[in-house]
Amino acid sequence: MKPVLLIGAGGVGSVVAHKCAMLPEVFGPITLASRTLSKCEAIAAQVKQRTGCELATAQVDADDVSQTAALIRSSGAKLLINVALPYQDLTLMDACLEAGCDYLDTANYEPKDVAKFEYGWQWAYQDRFAQAGLCAVLGSGFDPGVTNVFTAWALKHQFDEIHTLDIIDVNGGNHGKAFATNFNPEINIREVTAPCRHFEAGAFVESAAMSCHQGFTCPDGVGSYEIYRMYHEELESLVKHIPTLRRAQFWMSFSPNYLKHLEVLQNVGMTRIDPVMYQGREIVPLQFLKAVLPDPGELGQSTKGKTCIGNVITGRKDGQPKAVYIYNICDHEACFAEVGSQAISYTTGVPAMLGAKQILEGGWRQPGVWNIEQLDPDAFMADLHVHGLPWQCRELTPAQAASFQVA
């Protein structure tokens, strides 16, 4: 018996619930809890229909430590999988410490009132988790998550030393809406409007958001897209844990249509996160915008196309320069057919399930707080092939790597 508690009943939570339910030999009993009970019940009904597995459901305010600790105890959970929002990371880690439970998440902590995310707040829990004999695994989605494991696997099997890392995240999907975000709109828009930071020559360098971009052609006919350099949280942990890195950058594709809408929304103040008065009460414009945008969890039905997320890595092997591209391609419609979700939720939810599997099976279970690149990559890499996210590793020439020619 490996009782688990999933917290968050959004797009990612639904995928994690389905994928855990498909592995009863690893996970169970499973409790799905979130702020809105009806969303948990709707997911539980779909899971029952697709897999035959019964989930328990519960209402919980994950900002409330003692309430969450009580739920951990009553559910008997040995592991809490946090797929709520980054705002809840610290209270959920506190609840795990209080109730004696392991922890896993997919995004690092971010305070609600400042658009700033960094690992420092969660790394500060290292001693408390270690002393309690509990394990916390941070960032087990796709990016962060699989991209960190790709890097750790490359370092273990392909390189003696890694010098540059470029993570390239392309969503070639089309949802047919005028404007929508792939995951929680509030978190997504805070992320893409933040100033860009990349790592170069031993330090992070800041530049204006979306100011650096270039064309990128994906392999296997996924298509050509414009990719924009932006800051992403895994850069912080990867440059810490792989000190030979001389440069680390993150790139994401955006369509001209997405950027046009985002620019207008920014210009009119709809992406602000400070409260404004409206009809006698305070509202936060970005939270209001979230309420009127399409729910990312509902986009699966209409989204067609593929995602292509991978790492271009250069370094040295046996004294020679070497470069590789490691990537996964995921089809939105295939994800919808399997679990009723689009590929962004799927590519996050499957690695969350796989990270949880590694903890429960013991491979990754060690006391302390860990970024996923610090853990052995091999079993996780093998599981990606089995559970819906197959990957490939291509060798590149140094010239191809320098210009991102991977197709």
Ligand X SMILES: NC(=O)c1ccc[n+]([C@@H]2O[C@H](COP(=O)([O-])OP(=O)(O)OC[C@H]3O[C@@H](n4cnc5c(N)ncnc54)[C@H](OP(=O)(O)O)[C@@H]3O)[C@@H](O)[C@H]2O)c1
Contact footprint for ligand X (CB under 6 A): 8-13, 34-36, 39, 60-63, 83-86, 88, 106-107, 141-145, 183-184, 187, 296-297, 344, 348
Q: What single string gives the DSSP state of each residue in 16-60?
A: HHHHHHT-TTT-BSEEEEES-HHHHHHHHHHHHHHH-PPPEEEE-
Write phi, then psi, for 205 (nearest 5 degrees).
-115, 130
Cβ-based nearer residue to ligand X, 51 or 91 = 91
| Lookup result for tokens 């047919």 | 176
Residue 313: DSSP 8-state: E
Structure tokens, 150: 């790709």
Cβ-based nearer residue to ligand X, 173 or 297 = 297
Among 176, 187, 186, which residue's Cα sits nearest to residue 299? 176
The distance of closest approach from Cβ of residue 370 to ligand X in the complex, given in angstroms and rounded to an integer, is: 15
The distance of closest approach from Cβ of residue 104 to ligand X in the complex, given in angstroms and rounded to an integer, is: 11
- Within 10 angstroms of residue 338's Cβ, the number of other Cβ atoms is 15
The distance of closest approach from Cβ of residue 197 to ligand X in the complex, given in angstroms and rounded to an integer, is: 18
The distance of closest approach from Cβ of residue 119 to ligand X in the complex, given in angstroms and rounded to an integer, is: 13
Pinpoint the alpha helices (H) of 268-308. 285-292
What does the longest C-alpha to C-alpha distance in the chain come to? Answer: 68
**Displacement of CA 191 from its chain's centroid (Å):** 12
The distance of closest approach from Cβ of residue 198 to ligand X in the complex, given in angstroms and rounded to an integer, is: 19
Q: How many CA atoms lie less than 13 Å away from 386 in the CB half-sphere?
A: 12
Cβ-based nearer residue to ligand X, 330 or 396 = 330
- What distance in Å separates the CA atoms of residue 332 and residue 344, rounded to the nearest whole number? 8
Among 134, 144, 142, which residue's Cα sits nearest to residue 109? 144
The distance of closest approach from Cβ of residue 111 to ligand X in the complex, given in angstroms and rounded to an integer, is: 14
The distance of closest approach from Cβ of residue 83 to ligand X in the complex, given in angstroms and rounded to an integer, is: 5
* DSSP 3-state of 105: strand
Which residues, in sequence order, are CB contacts of 331 under 8 Å at separation 6+?
A: 305, 306, 343
Cβ-based nearer residue to ligand X, 3 or 144 = 144
Cβ-based nearer residue to ligand X, 230 or 323 = 230
Cβ-based nearer residue to ligand X, 323 or 344 = 344
Among 354, 336, 368, 343, which residue's Cα sits nearest to residue 149? 354
Q: Which amino acid is at 11?
A: G
The distance of closest approach from Cβ of residue 135 to ligand X in the complex, given in angstroms and rounded to an integer, is: 19
Q: How many CA atoms lie less than 13 Å away from 109 in the CB half-sphere?
A: 17
| Neighbouring-strand partners of residue 393 | 326
- What distance in Å separates the CA atoms of residue 313 and residue 101, rounded to the nearest whole number? 36
Cβ-based nearer residue to ligand X, 142 or 150 = 142
Cβ-based nearer residue to ligand X, 145 or 173 = 145
Cβ-based nearer residue to ligand X, 200 or 338 = 338
Cβ-based nearer residue to ligand X, 238 or 396 = 238
The distance of closest approach from Cβ of residue 145 to ligand X in the complex, given in angstroms and rounded to an integer, is: 5
The distance of closest approach from Cβ of residue 309 to ligand X in the complex, given in angstroms and rounded to an integer, is: 9
- What distance in Å separates the CA atoms of residue 291 and residue 310, rounded to the nearest whole number? 32
- What distance in Å separates the CA atoms of residue 3 and residue 13, rounded to the nearest whole number? 16
Which residue's C-beta sits nearest to ligand X? 10
Cβ-based nearer residue to ligand X, 120 or 321 = 120
The distance of closest approach from Cβ of residue 292 to ligand X in the complex, given in angstroms and rounded to an integer, is: 14
- What distance in Å separates the CA atoms of residue 226 and residue 388, rounded to the nearest whole number? 27
